Amino acid sequence: MTNKNQIQQERWKASLQNNYGAPEISLVEGSGAQVWDAEGNEYLDFLGGIATNILGHAHPDLISAITRQANELGHVSNLYSHPRAIELAEKLKELTGSTNARVFFCNSGAEANEAALKLSRLSGRKKVVSTLGSFHGRTIGALSITGQVTKRKAFLPLLKDVTFIPFNDVKAAKKAMSKKVAMVIVEPIQGENGVVVPDLGYLKALRELTSKHGVLLVFDCVQTGMGRTGEWFGFEHEGVVPDVITLAKGLGGGLPLGAMIAIGKASSLFEPGSHGSTFGGSSVACASALASIKFLEDQGILERVKALELTLKLEISKSPMVASVRGSGLLIGIVLREPIAKKFITDLQNNGVLANATSDSVIRIAPPLIISNSQVSHFVEIFRKVSASYER
């Protein structure tokens, strides 16, 4: 065997567990939104580590922030404070627009949602309302509030007291409210479910309902946060503020970092000993996050994300194989007219573009937020070429 990708695949199979299957290509180098595999093939990375590498690969600002921090101070545990965690918490607080928000740092989206779940228990209530089709993570707590049967069924029984209601259904949410409900958790856009966008007004209605019933409202912005939708958090266009925001993915600019931001009364539920994480809010990950946010702010990237959304939606929807294009900012779901999404993304990959299929008929793109106009044009050109090969 001489193909270096295949060699890596065999080594993977022999030494890593089979929970992801063995990837066919092995990426060895990246720069911005370009990546190269072990055979030297170049790809345009339109998945960005699944909505994670907001500044792409090897961004000079991240490299210098991470290097500076690693030179200055490494891991300190939670027995001591360090400046980067405080600076980042202050920055996130500022971005929420709330003067009484407080942050808990962890390492991933599942952990951020676990933290929200534990926080909600401290309200004295136990029930959780979540939505069908949602994805909140793979740990037992996060999986218990994830509304996807395929991911849950091998691990039953999960936590009790979780009710799943249809997404985007205000009536169902109203029916599910009671004095026993501790929290309602919802993604502003269901990412893993195929970039499903609720009607305008849904999040606001949830805010009104939860406030009326004394229920904590948690917006899981793990996929829709940190500028992905052209806003800092994927719910801002509704003009509402939840009690809890969970973040991960883009937050660390590619390093593992999650956050659970509690706002208002919810911010005082945790007390010393309530929760913790050894690595949560590590100095290097926080330095990377601060540098990412600074770059997005200084360069006005969020406005650019909104403009690129319009271009991509317009151009992609011109392909006859496309039934609809949905999403917000640079989190876009392309609904195909036929159930060929898996074959379609293999064809994109063979033409040097990375994307993924969330189901048989939906392709998701979530490129780095720093993609250039020419990279957008290149994506559209390759997308059209592949699409044309299916047109009869």
In the numeric block, the tokens 């019933």 are attached to: 213
Which CB, 367 or 375, lies closer to ligand PLP? Answer: 367
In sequence order, the 6+-apart residues with CB closer than 8 A to the CB of 91 are 290, 293
Distance CA 43, CA 37 (A): 8
Q: Residue 67: enclosing H or E segment and its boundaries?
A: helix 60-72
In the numeric block, the tokens 């390093």 are attached to: 255
Shortest Å, Cβ 258 to ligand PLP: 7
The residue whose Cβ lies closest to ligand PLP is 109
Angle between helices 301-316 and 283-298 (to 10 degrees): 70
Residue 199 annotated as catalytic: no
Given the residues 37, 45, 220, 243, the one annotated as active site? 220
At 336 the three-state DSSP class reads strand
Which CB, 196 or 287, lies closer to ligand PLP? Answer: 196
Shortest Å, Cβ 231 to ligand PLP: 15
Residue 135 annotated as catalytic: yes
CB atoms within 10 A of CB 380: 17
Distance CA 86, CA 27 (A): 34
Distance CA 27, CA 38 (A): 6
Shortest Å, Cβ 246 to ligand PLP: 7
Angle between helices 283-298 and 83-96 (to 10 degrees): 40
Which CB, 59 or 249, lies closer to ligand PLP? Answer: 249
Shortest Å, Cβ 152 to ligand PLP: 14
Shortest Å, Cβ 279 to ligand PLP: 13
Shortest Å, Cβ 182 to ligand PLP: 19
**Hey, what are 85's tokens?**
């965690």
Given the residues 105, 219, 249, 344, the one annotated as active site? 249
Residue 161 annotated as catalytic: no
Which CB, 248 or 302, lies closer to ligand PLP? Answer: 248
In sequence order, the 6+-apart residues with CB closer than 8 A to the CB of 239 are 204
Cβ atoms of residues 162 and 130 within 8 Å: yes
Residue type, 76: V
Distance CA 248, CA 380 (A): 29
| Residues at the interface with ligand PLP (CB under 6 A) | 108-110, 113, 135-137, 187, 191-192, 220, 222-223, 248
Which CB, 30 or 137, lies closer to ligand PLP? Answer: 137
Cβ atoms of residues 167 and 129 within 8 Å: no
Given the residues 135, 167, 219, 270, the one annotated as active site? 135
Cβ atoms of residues 131 and 190 within 8 Å: yes
Which CB, 89 or 218, lies closer to ligand PLP? Answer: 218
**Residues labelled as active-site residues:** 135, 220, 249
